[in-house]
Chain A
């Protein structure tokens, strides 16, 4: 008998950005000033969820062994919306329906009800908080890690481990405060060989997520025609990374890897980097002054921490620490 190579199954983690503010802006008719080229189409959250669920269903339909986990990034927290391992709540009663495939129905029900619950639970003052994208990303990495390390004993050795990947559906702009944790998650994704794909549905380009996609070998797509969301998802994000090598998937040419100086917040080509804390400054007259200030900071090195970086606005790939 000819030995046949078994194609690995693939695991997909989808992170959905559920920022109420941003989704409200996306559904408005008159935001021409913000995004002139993409304002012709309006994408409501309802149609977004319908199209995303169709994409998730097709991932499950592609191969019987394929697995799926759906995370939601809400303002200030992150939740698991659906995963096959989590026991469903008892109240949920899913009766078999002749017109729908049961796994699809379970998934659709779980995702829609969980989103509804979480959004209802949000208080008004919470809505302005930035979305906890990093939490959702690290949780999905933990999930994938568990999936890869604890291979069930029932599987024989010939079955390859599942190919993991993460798709982020983003609507919020970058948050400079989460730069370091986000980078840490990206590097651990690199270590686990997890591809991160980014679909920017609404809002300005997210430089951090561009870097995430570039560093892990994924695709970053800015959705220019928002009514074509499902088509983009199907054509770009459905094939697993091993097959994607044979396809022409949109790549990004202009990922900016330059750093911004912390004194003038301008992007620099050549800068001076502190040997202790790795913050960069521009080569100008103020270096003398800055370095003195830096010395003063270094004495209290222990105290300076991320809370100082929260006051900084994002400029390019800023790497400020204060």
Chain B
């Protein structure tokens, strides 16, 4: 069919010509090509030059991200890289150093936008594929840091909310629900209200000590709601549900309101990397809100949210035990865990026992959450050359420090000597170890705390 073929060509051609079009527009701007456009712009600029601001993003000068990275005299990017590290350090220093109460038992509903706007290609390959990819890594990382939490998944498609995955504490189960791409094919419009109502409904039964959170990945600029979404918002505030939105397109007033009123965070992803950053910032357990504490004090009790939860510590069956059917998959296996209350055989912990509903954990899972409660103290940067300690090797990795200062410009929070000192044991650490100790190990090699 020749016409069809032509269509295809057209599509390809238009795809290719898109960037050059953009270039032309920018060229036109700077060099004054294209009379009609130029005059039109001139008149507009006249009015604008007085208040000296650019009202629209697309009228701003074309920012090239590679221009912001500056090479030093030797032509290396070391300075730029150090600046990035410094920014990370500063962000860590902003975090409160004393122990704060964090919600350890978390319940989260991840709301995925499955509307047709997710097929946009502004993020490669598509917003939808990128979202699925990041959602998967988000879920594994989330369970890694919050082993006692549970995740449910809700999709927004064709104006309704769909329950994609039930609330579950097993990462494999959750990942399985979003593993099949063809079942999640985007279509129609999203409905924020329906999705939030469904998520709220699935968390209504939860006890007060657990956190209730909704994370919405939102790619559309519209929402199709059956009623007043502000009523839903008020209900969420009443239920103490925290809503966080990661928008892929642009900021919407209602999304901002949802986050601000419920105490969540809102962010618009600029690009792929920023999308991932925004999503992964939501992984560490949030500090418990002062609201609950104040309410407890008002009621006269010490704290209403400190509850005792019943948990079972299972017996592990070794590889050599007699095979038996597990209750979760009905598979014949010799390995497994025995529920201490009903002696049912389970494949994996942590989970809720399928027979008696007891929460089954093992003690390492509890221990995994401890580093949120006892963070490592931030190291202070060694700035003063006179106070450099005599040791000439990093306490962590034993690599030697450079004798002279690496960079002449002193940035806030960055040591010119590449040395960072632990406030407790007074040992010096290199930049790599500083980041590694605080982000991964959560235990200082010098003082063992």
Contacts and interface: CB of A to CB of B under 8 A. Distances in A.
B366 A138 contact: no
Nearest to A267: B313
Contact of B400 (A87, A188, A281): A87
B367 A179 contact: yes
Contact of B397 (A146, A187, A275, A281): A146
Given A139-B395, A269-B313, A273-B366, A184 B306 contact: no
Nearest to A258: B313
Interface string A171-198: 0000000111101111110011000000
Interface residues of A, number: 66
A146 B374 contact: no
Interface in B320-338: 320
A317 interface: yes
Contact of A275 (B309, B316, B371, B443): B309
A241 interface: no
A208 to B, nearest CB: 10
B105 interface: yes
B305 A180 contact: no
B223 interface: no
A142 B445 contact: yes
Contact of A317 (B363, B437, B445): B363
A253 B334 CA distance: 12
Contacts of A299: 302-303
B226 to A, nearest CB: 36
B125 interface: no
Contacts of B305: 275-276
Given A142-B397, A270-B341, A275-B309, A188 B441 contact: yes
Contacts, number: 182
Interface string B180-214: 00000000000000000000000000000110000
Interface stretch (B96-104, B112-120, B238-246): B96-104
B120 to A, nearest CB: 34
A271 B398 contact: no
Interface residues of B, number: 62
Nearest to A269: B340
A259 B306 contact: no
Contacts of B99: 301-302, 305
Nearest to B440: A188
B311 A257 contact: no
A273 to B, nearest CB: 5
Contacts of A135: 445-448
B94 interface: no
Given A138-B437, A143-B397, A258-B313, A275 B307 contact: yes
Contacts of B363: 257-259, 317, 319
A254 B318 contact: yes
B446 A275 contact: no
B383 interface: no
Given A275-B104, A299-B302, A301-B101, A184 B442 contact: yes
A270 B302 contact: no
A143 to B, nearest CB: 5
**Leading 5 A-B pairs by shortest Cβ distance:** A142-B396, A269-B340, A253-B318, A275-B209, A257-B362
10 contacts: A135-B448, A138-B448, A142-B433, A270-B340, A275-B306, A278-B369, A281-B308, A294-B308, A298-B303, A319-B363
